[in-house]
Structures are given as C-alpha cells and as structure tokens.
Amino acid sequence: MKKSYKLITASIFTASVVFAQQQQIIPCFSDEATKSYFAAHPEEKARYEREMQNAALSNEYINQRGNGHNQVSNSTFTTVDTIPVVFHILHQGGPENVPNSYVYQALAEVNRVHTKTIPDTAQIDVHFKGVSGANNYVFQLATKDPNGNCTNGIIRHFDANTNWDQTQTPFPYTWDRTKYLNIYIVKNICSGQPCPATSSSGGIIVGYTYLPGTVPAQLDAVVYNYQFMTGTNARSMAHEFGHWLGLSHTFGMTNSAGGSTCTTANDDKLSTNPPAVACVGVTDDTPMYQGAFSTCPASTPNACDPSNTANVQNIMDYSSCPKNFTNGQITRMHNIMNSTTASRSNVISAANKIATGVRYPQVCIPTPYFHPSARIVCSGAIVTFSDSSENAKTTSYNWSFPGGTFVAGYTATDSMPRVTYATPGTYAVSYTASTTAGGAAVTESSCIKVVSSTASYNTAFVEGFETATVPGTDWSVSHTPSSGVDWTVTNSTAASGSKSIMIDNFSNVPGDTSILVSPTFNLAAIGSPVLTFKMSYQQKATTNVDKLQIYSSIDCGATWNSRFGRSGAALQPSTVTGQSSSLFVPTPSQFVTYTVNIGPIASSTNAMFRFVFYADPTSPGNELYMDDINIYNSTVGIKDIETMVGLEIYPNPSSSNVNVVFNLAEKHNISINVVDLLGRVVETVPSQNYPSGQTLITIGNKAYQSGVYFINMDIDGQHISKKIIIQ
C-alpha cells in the first residue's frame, strides 16, 4: 500500500520526495484551530486583530501598482539580516535523534532559499523572474542560551512527545520567542488520532507553525518531521519559516491545494483591491489560484485569474518544484519582522544578536556526543559516525575505533568517518570533540555489535534463561536514557524452571527504552518457523501506558520491522487481575504464551529479533517478566517433541540418581547436559544417534550436592530444558 502524506496545520509543506507518493488531501486545520482557540479566548482574538493592524497585515500591506500583470513595487532588501534559531530535538533514542549534520544541512538549504542562491533559480518561470527576489534573512544557530550560557543551538530532549500531538499546549522547551526562532524536531506529528498513526490512511505531516500573533508565546515555534531535513526536502522547512515570517499559502489559508474549484479563499491577501467577482482581475505578484498539489504543472493561465499566470513554483505553494519568493512576499516578511507583532522586531535587533551570540559568538568546549549510522551490523558492513555534541559547535574531531578499520580515504580526524568491522563481537568507540577553547572526550564501551553474516542457530531454539547470561554470547541489551534499567535475568519467578528475564519497571525512569537483542537464526532451515514467548506484567494504575514491541531484522539490524506490540491495559495478561502499587512477582500460572507471526521472514537465513520495552513517559507501571522464548517448526512444536520421543524423567525429586527415558519411533541424534543454577555444566552425555526403541540414561552418577538442576536435551537441534531436584 502506498503511503499518504497528510497536509494539515497552520502551515504544512511537502517536499519533492513526498510528491512521489499518493497523497491524501484533508481540510486544513489551521483555520479551524485558530477559530477554536479564538472562540475559547475572545480576548486573544481582539488582541490579534489589533496586532494585525499595527503590523499592517491588512490589504494595505502592499503598495500595488496596477500598470502590469505580476508587477508590484517594493523596496529592495539587499542587506542580509540574521535570525537566531534553536533546535529542540525530541527523541526516544531512535532515528529521530538526528545528528548535528542534519541540522546544518537543513539550515544551509533554508538559507539558500531565503537568499535566492539555490542552484535552480535559473529555472524560475519567466513570468515571475522579474518579481522574485532574495528575502535575505539568514537563520543562524545561537551560541548563547537565554541565561547567557554556552550552546550550539541544538538541544536534545529524551521525550515521548517525539510522537507529537498537534493539539498539545504549551510547548515544553520553547526559549524566549522574543529572542529566538524555536524549531522542534520530532518523529511524528499527529492531530485527532493516535500518534504515531495506527491507520494506513494516517499519512505523514511534515511540519507546521502559526502566523505571527495568532497564539501566545509558548506556542510560537515550528514543529517539523525529522525525515525532511536533508537535500531539497529541507525546502519544506523554508516554507515553514515563511509562515513564521508572516506568509500565507499562495492559494490561501486552506489545505485544499490543487482543487478544481476556485473561490475567494484562494488568495494570500497580497492584493489591495480584492475583485468583486471571485478570482478575476487580480494583478499582484502572487495571483489568486487553486494551488498545485504534488505536481509541477506547466505555466498556463490559471482558472482563478485568467489574466495572470499561476505562481506554481512559489515556496508557499504545495507544488513539487518550489523555487522562489516574490517581491510582495518579501515585503510582507520584512514588514512583520520590523513590527511589534509577536515581538518579531526584537528578534532581529542588534542587542538581541549579541545576547544570543549570533554576533560576536562565544567559543566554548563541546559536550561530546556522537551518532553511529547503526549499532548492530553484519561483519564487513560500513558504519558512518557523526558528531552530535552540544554546548558548542565542534570544529575538530578525533576518533578511535578499536577493532575497526577506516574505509579508504577516511581518517581519525574526519567529521564523519566511515569504519568497517571484519570480526563479529562488541566494540568500543572513543571520540574527542574540540574547538579552539579546548576539547572533551567520551567513550562508549559497547557501542557497536558486529554480527556474523552466518546465523548462530540453524535449528529450533529454546531459551528459558536458566543458563544464559544477559548480556552474553547470545543476548545483548541497551537502553536510553542511561539512568534507566536493562533487561536482566532473575530467579525470583519463572514460567518454567527457576529463572526468567525481567524489566525492573517498578523503579524505572519515565520514558526509558530497554532493548533485548537475540542471536541470529537460519529460519529457512527450521521449516515453518514460529516465535513464541511467555510474559507476565501488572499495571500500577489504569493510566499506565507501558509498551512491549517485538521487531525482526534480516540485515544484521540495519532495518527493523514490527512483528508484535501491546501497550497499556492490553499489556497485562488476563491471568493478572487489577493493578497494584506493590512489587509484582507473578506465579508460574500467571505467565501467558504469546505467538509472534514471523511467516513473512520464514525464508530468511540470518534473522534476529529485538524485544523493546517502552516505559510510560509519565509514570512507569509494575514489573514485566518474560520466559521461554522459543523458535521452532510449527508443524512439530516444543510439546510435540516430548511426545514424539516419549520423554520421561524420574524419580524427581531424587535423593541419588535420575533416569532419563525416551522411546523413539525412529533414529534421532540426542545430547544431554546437566547444569546447576549458576549455569555450570556438572555432567554431559555426548551427542550420538540413538536407534528406535526405548533408551534409559542414568544421570547423577557424580556426587551432586542438594539443590536444583536442569537437564538440557538437544534432539535433532531442538532443545528441551527440564528441572530436577536433588535432595
């Protein structure tokens, strides 16, 4: 199914990459949201109307000449002026936590658009070349925060609101809007539906903001989807900044660009004399028209104003070829920035440029931080590392990759080095970020996990955590933020045996993400593979929205696809009743078996899985436990194996020896080992082929101390673990 990209808000623009997709057009929420806000706050409506008049945002805004089509007289803004900006990156440790390079790329493209230095200005429609110009506002990262402290203008916030609800108020991190343009980078933007959208028709919202003066200070910011920050996609951000500077869409403040019907709404109010008859005779430099949606139609007379050509390439349209602002739009942006509306004039004042450090920038020592392009890779794959330091913009770099090899042409002092790892294992990375003021270093001891391109397991797999070490040879863990909790093996309860794996969510950090990564499996060799696991969990309160999600990867962790998910009340199994503020320790009967559909990757020869627990971003619930993570041929099954071999173990408990009896209908290869609670092997029966018929093997011939042990049997590659007690 094709994705749809939803265009919604006080201002939304989709970049060229979006237009290749099927779109869903919905009514624009900006007008409705503004009307709703004003209905609830009539005093705010009165205030806004006064500010509009003061800022000359009425039809008298442009001094229009009527002696030619697409001709508007205006001042020429040749002097470059600077607007201080700050990026707030909201993330939960995923790809939305973009490296600093994404911010630099986005701002570079935005500034090229606003200074008319993009390389394709030569392609501007001939009808508009004479009236398109350079806005000459440039957007520069602040080097001083509101308290005068060091910053590089890029602030990272570990926050579940990266799934951003458009109706959310106020914005939590906004710096003084009289000094900075605030930009929120988020993973998803949603309105009137779950976020992220669960419906295939949900679409993707690229970004939004409000026109100056429509909302109070804490809402005066741009919210933007992280996926649209590189290349020409960043022209979407230039569009959003246009709204922040006071521009409407060229087709009017509506979300129905590309419609077949022309109305008086299809106007950006740059005309001094709106025609008595809708859509006829407008002679401003952004003529009325319906707008273009995800297309770039040729220059033809437009239906709204047959006497004028449609300005399809305008940055404030929804076309797939945004290239220009017009002189009329530029005049409006400069008028608003020199007005008291929303304190815009203070933002560009000389005093504020000094206060925010865009003039006479302070040089500080960076707080080092970096991004690898992937944390789990196949051996031989290339990993790219990017600087994401805070506090100051890094100007020199020094990297160390023990066990890694630089790709040809890259060195330890590159800003974005590329490295390969030939041997499977877990590797540390060290990084020093510096400026002329000095440098600081950071080391991440378990940064990169390199996985063999050959699967670790070629047969069915049973994990009861009786002997497994986590992290260990098979299982790895990670979490964010660093103050949260990891998956850990516990002997406090189990679905079977004496151990399970758990998240100590009872004392967890709100918003923590804990990841458990499996070994790799050759699913194609298993037959009809199925993944099952047993889980138990309890909420502290009905409002808890903890979440368990299971993902699969068939490319050594480069990409992951969701296979299973439960959250909130649905995460608590039916065997557990009510909520409890006391520490939850389930009985074996309170574990429930869940099945994960892995049929879509059944042919994979190198699959892996990750179990991700997301703690409630406000108040985490109680403990969560998992046990008996099994991957097996669904046509056989784990229980069926016991039946197939006629397995019996007796006596149990025993004061001496224990008999293991199996009755085979045909030949099978079987091996046995016995381990204690610490996972130490105390007895082994070597692998061999056993003929059909009954076989009895006696274990316990060695002197066992009293306690609990586990008999681990491997039957043609499928595993069974049974508990025994020696008295």
Tens digit of each residue's pLDDT (9 = 90 or more) over 430-473: 999 999 999 999 999 989 989 888 888 888 888 889 888 898 88
Does residue 456 lie in a domain region? no
**625 & 562 share domain:** yes
**673 & 658 share domain:** yes
CATH no. for residue 219? Answer: 3.40.390.10
Spatial CA neighbour of 249 closest among 166, 311, 198: 311
**411 & 510 share domain:** no
Query: What is the per-residue pLDDT for 341?
Result: 85
Q: What is the mean pLDDT of the chain?
A: 82
Does residue 480 lie in a domain region? yes
**68 & 128 share domain:** yes
Query: What is the per-residue pLDDT for 276?
Result: 31
Does residue 562 lie in a domain region? yes
Query: What is the per-residue pLDDT for 262?
Result: 65
Distances (CA, A) of 710 to 661, 684, 706: 15, 12, 13
**pLDDT of 647 above 50:** yes
Cα(564)–Cα(611) distance, integer angstroms: 9
Distances (CA, A) of 367 to 84, 313, 438: 21, 42, 11
Name which of 315-324, 562-571, 596-605 the model is least confident about.
Answer: 315-324
**pLDDT of 373 above 80:** yes
**CB neighbours (10 Å) of residue 45?**
16
Split at pLDDT 50, 70, 90, the class of 203 is: low
CATH no. for residue 690? Answer: 2.60.40.1930
CATH no. for residue 379? Answer: 2.60.40.10
**680 & 549 share domain:** no
**pLDDT of 392 above 60:** yes
Does residue 179 lie in a domain region? yes
Split at pLDDT 50, 70, 90, the class of 644 is: low
Query: What is the per-residue pLDDT for 57?
Result: 42
Name which of 14-23, 512-521, 713-722 the model is least confident about.
Answer: 14-23
Query: What is the per-residue pLDDT for 45?
Result: 76
Helix, strand or coil for residue 428? Answer: strand
**588 & 698 share domain:** no
Cα(264)–Cα(277) distance, integer angstroms: 9
Q: Containing H/E element for 50? A: helix 42-54
Cα(413)–Cα(34) distance, integer angstroms: 50
Which of 407, 428, 451 represents a domain boundary (last residue)?
Answer: 451
Name which of 159-173, 409-423, 593-607 the model is least confident about.
Answer: 159-173
Place of tokens 């005066």: 220
Amino acid at 572: Q
Query: What is the per-residue pLDDT for 76?
Result: 60
Cα(662)–Cα(696) distance, integer angstroms: 7
Name which of 304-313, 491-500, 530-539, 620-629 the model is least confident about.
Answer: 304-313
Split at pLDDT 50, 70, 90, the class of 23 is: very low
**622 & 661 share domain:** no
Instruction: Give the chain's domain count.
Output: 4
The whole-number average pLDDT for the span 227-249 is: 90
Which of 451, 481, 499 represents a domain boundary (last residue)?
Answer: 451
690-700 pLDDT tens trace = 887 888 888 87
Cα(448)–Cα(389) distance, integer angstroms: 19
Which of 604, 633, 662 represents a domain boundary (last residue)?
Answer: 633
**pLDDT of 7 above 50:** no
**pLDDT of 723 above 90:** no
Split at pLDDT 50, 70, 90, the class of 101 is: very high
Q: Which domain does 375 fall in, by range? A: 370-451
**CB neighbours (10 Å) of residue 274?**
13
Does residue 478 lie in a domain region? yes
Helix, strand or coil for residue 347? Answer: helix
Cα(375)–Cα(451) distance, integer angstroms: 10
Spatial CA neighbour of 339 closest among 44, 37, 45, 58: 58
Cα(132)–Cα(124) distance, integer angstroms: 9
Q: How would you classify residue 391: left for phi > 0, otherwise alpha for psi between -120 and 50, otherwise beta?
A: left
Query: What is the per-residue pLDDT for 62?
Result: 36
- Give the whole-number percent of the chain exceeding pLDDT 90: 43
Query: What is the per-residue pLDDT for 390?
Result: 95
**395 & 447 share domain:** yes
**pLDDT of 321 above 80:** yes
Spatial CA neighbour of 334 closest among 60, 48, 61: 61
Place of tokens 């509306």: 341
251-301 pLDDT tens trace = 776 555 555 566 555 555 554 333 332 322 233 677 777 667 667 777 555
**587 & 565 share domain:** yes
Contacts of 703 (CB under 8 A, 6+ apart): none
Query: What is the per-residue pLDDT for 141?
Result: 98
Spatial CA neighbour of 114 closest among 269, 250, 17, 239: 239
The whole-number average pLDDT for the span 376-403 is: 95
**pLDDT of 317 above 50:** yes
530-557 pLDDT tens trace = 999 999 999 999 999 999 999 999 998 8
The whole-number average pLDDT for the span 320-327 is: 87
Does residue 314 lie in a domain region? no
Split at pLDDT 50, 70, 90, the class of 130 is: confident
* Token couple for 608: 């892996």
The CA-to-CA distance between both ends of the chain, in Å, stands at 61
Q: Which residue has the higher pLDDT, 282 or 611?
A: 611
Amino acid at 340: T
Query: What is the per-residue pLDDT for 219?
Result: 87
Split at pLDDT 50, 70, 90, the class of 638 is: low
Query: What is the per-residue pLDDT for 18?
Result: 35
**554 & 700 share domain:** no
Does residue 389 lie in a domain region? yes
32-59 pLDDT tens trace = 455 556 666 788 778 777 766 654 444 3
* Token couple for 271: 């005309």
**pLDDT of 350 above 70:** yes
**659 & 704 share domain:** yes
**pLDDT of 475 above 70:** yes
Does residue 3 lie in a domain region? no
Cα(602)–Cα(463) distance, integer angstroms: 19
**pLDDT of 129 above 70:** yes
- Give the whole-number percent of the chain exceeding pLDDT 70: 80
Distances (CA, A) of 707 to 498, 652, 659: 12, 12, 17
Query: What is the per-residue pLDDT for 249?
Result: 83
**430 & 340 share domain:** no
The whole-number average pLDDT for the span 641-666 is: 79
Query: What is the per-residue pLDDT for 510?
Result: 87
